[in-house]
Amino acid sequence: MFARTGRLDDVVIVALPTIGRHIRERGFDHMEKLGRRLARLSGGCYVELLGREKNTTQVGASMERRKAQAKEAFCLRRKIEPGSRILLLDDVWTTGSSMIAASELLKKNGYQNIMVALLARSG
C-alpha cells in the first residue's frame, strides 16, 4: 500500500495523453515524462494504456463542450491484466471532464480498480 510503504510496485501508472500540438510545442510529452518518473521513483510500472482519438483543446471551452470533447478524446491503446490497479495521472483538473471520460473508458473495458492523481486544480 502506497500510504505505508511509499511504493507503488503493484500499480500501473497511466498518464492522460497530451494532444500532439502541445507535444510539438514543448518538444516532449510532459505527462509521459511525469508518469515514467513516478514509476521509477515509486517502483510502479508506466504503461501507455490510453491514446488520443481526437486532438481537441479544452482551454477556454465551456463545461458542456469539455464534457462532449472528452467523451470522444481517448482510446485504449493496449490491454493489460483486467485486475490491475491503475493510477491515472492528469496535469490540471478544471471540470474533471478528461479524467472522468478516461476513467469511464477504462471501466467500460473491464478495469475497475482506478485511482487518480492530479498536479493542479484550476478555478
Q: What is the fold, at CATH topology level, of the domain defined by 11-121?
A: Rossmann fold (3.40.50)
pLDDT of residue 9: 74
Any idea of the CA torsion for 54, 27, 118, 47, to the nearest 10 degrees?
Answer: 70
Residue with cell 505527462: 31
In this model, does residue 22 exceed pLDDT 70?
yes
pLDDT of residue 38: 92
Q: Distances in Å between the alpha carbon of 46 and those of 57, 69, 75, 82?
A: 25, 26, 17, 16
Q: Distances in Å between the alpha carbon of 36 and those of 43, 74, 96?
A: 10, 20, 23
pLDDT tens sequence across 72-122? 789 999 999 988 999 999 988 878 888 999 999 999 999 999 999 988 877
pTM summary value = 0.80
In this model, does residue 56 exceed pLDDT 70?
no
